[in-house]
Amino acid sequence: MNPSVLTENQKLSAQTIVISRLRRPQDYQQISLYKDVNPLDWEDWHWQLRHRITSKEELAQVVKLTPDEEEGIKKANGRLSMAITPYWLTLIDPEDANCPLRRQAIPVAQESIVSAHEMIDPLAEDRDTPAAYLVHRYPDRVLLLATEACAMYCRHCTRRRLVGDRKESNSPSRFDAAIEYIKQNRKIRDVLISGGDPFILEDEEIENLLQKIRAISHVEFLRIGTRVPVTLPQRITQKLVTMLKKYSPLWVSIHFNHPKEITKRCKIACDMLADSGIPLGSQTVLLRGINDRPYIMKKLMHELLKIRVRPYYIYQCDPVRGTQHFRTPVAVGINIMEKLRGHTSGYAVPVYVIDAPGGGGKIPVGPNYVLSQAKGKYVLRNYRGKIYTYLE
Ligand SMILES: *Cc1c(COP(=O)(O)O)cnc(C)c1O
Ligand code: SF4
């Protein structure tokens, strides 16, 4: 069946299947703002986008805002402005300003602090841009910034210099120079489509881009970086996954930061992707007061495996201007890795990286297991601190 010719009735029944897989689909109706919303509207990603919370007044109807947040919302206007999907709003604790999901979505006054070592573009992506929308850092792979928009704007966003709701060109020819560059550069075997969030584009726009990249014979591997399974799971529709499947091998990396993000609804979205044969990986940003405790990070990794997402990276929070309040010491990340490796399934252990300021790429950091090395002899320690010798 070609999903593009689904009748309106079939579309409704596909949505109804999704809704019926939720045990308590009416949860959102407990929020007074949404009490009259039809489940079919709630499940419509365009409806979710149209109804994003972007003002202090709307938000205050649901969340008891702190003075810090009120100031943050005021100051974030025009920069990485606030936008929260109704779905995400249902996950926020309206009473607790330390709620990890709330802190990722609602700006606070500290965002406007200008600290000396923070930068606008710490990874020097703008310097490594050989064609519009393209970042070429590693010899064999490129990053294509397909859009500046996202479903929700994360307060810790590294690309906050670019990302936000702006009028952007949506002419399909805007990627011509990028596509031509990839075509001319035969070393490029891997194209990572990110942004912003590529899944915020319409299916046809995504397909148009995938088609053009797939037509380049030396591109072996395609991946899409997204956060919509977490911030707008309704976006993962049967029509989208059926389209994506045609461009296999296509991998999807999903930005997850906290175990509470893995809801039943999120699981349905990830299941739809995984059931279509799309391998899923995760990317997590280490954030102070959000996921900087080993037991929270371990729980997140376990929950990811349960929804068939393989933990891929934990990032040290980049020194981007306005994110000081989110950053932890590097030792916090190393300690988390120490508490994962050996203590749980190897599949639950991502790689902790620092994306080198100045554009050096991702550098792995972690506990040191090699104690000494000399003349064909390695002295190692295991996860419990016991010492072993390996002779070459
Ligand atoms: C992260 C990144 C990639 C992909 O790196 P992998 O380690 O292969 O996931 C490619 N290009 C840029 C500019 C990146 O920041
Ligand atoms: S989804 Fe990614 S690109 Fe978009 S605001 Fe969040 S961190 Fe930034």
Residue 179 belongs to domain spanning: 134-363
> With bands split at pLDDT 50, 70 and 90, how would you rate the model's confidence at 18?
low
C-alpha span between 251 and 157 (Å, rounded): 22
ω into residue 249 within 30 of 0, thus cis? yes
In a domain, 5, yes or no: no
Report how far ligand 1's centroid is from the alpha carbon of 4 (Å): 33
- Average pLDDT value for the chain: 92
Q: Tell me the best of 138, 352, 354 to mutate to test the pocket of ligand 1, counting ligand atoms within 8 Å of each CB and taking the most.
A: 138
pLDDT at 22: 53
Residues 88 and 185 in one domain: no
Instruction: Name the catalytic one among 44, 52, 121, 150.
Output: 150
User: Are residue 204 and residue 335 in the same domain, yes or no?
Assistant: yes
Note the pLDDT tens digit of each residue in 311-339: 999 999 999 999 999 999 999 999 999 99
Residue nearest to atom 7 of ligand 2 (CA): 157
What CATH number is given to the structural domain containing 267?
A: 3.20.20.70
For the chain, what percent of residues have pLDDT higher than 90? 82
User: Is residue 180 in a domain?
Assistant: yes
Residues 140 and 92 in one domain: no
The alpha carbon of 47 is separated from its chain's Cα centroid by a whole number of angstroms, namely 21
Residue 184, both tokens: 């001319």
Q: Is the pLDDT of residue 3 over 50?
A: no
At residue 169, the pLDDT reads 75
192 Cβ below 6 A of ligand 1: yes
CB of residue 312 inside a 6 A radius of ligand 1: no
Assess if residue 68 is contained within a domain: yes
Task: From 127, 141, 187, give the residue whose CB has the most ligand 1 atoms within 8 Å, as the site to mutate.
Answer: 141
Q: Are residues 249 and 348 in the same domain?
A: yes
Question: Does the annotation mark 103 as catalytic?
Answer: no
Residue 383 in any domain: the answer is: no
Task: Give the Cα separation of 45 and 49 in Å (integer).
Answer: 6
> Which pLDDT band, with edges at 50, 70 and 90, does 166 fall under?
confident
- 2 part of a folded domain: no
Are 317 and 237 within one domain? yes
**Is 321 inside a domain boundary?**
yes
Judging by beta carbons within 10 Å of its beta carbon (0-12, 13-18, 19+), is residue 60 exposed, middle or buried?
middle
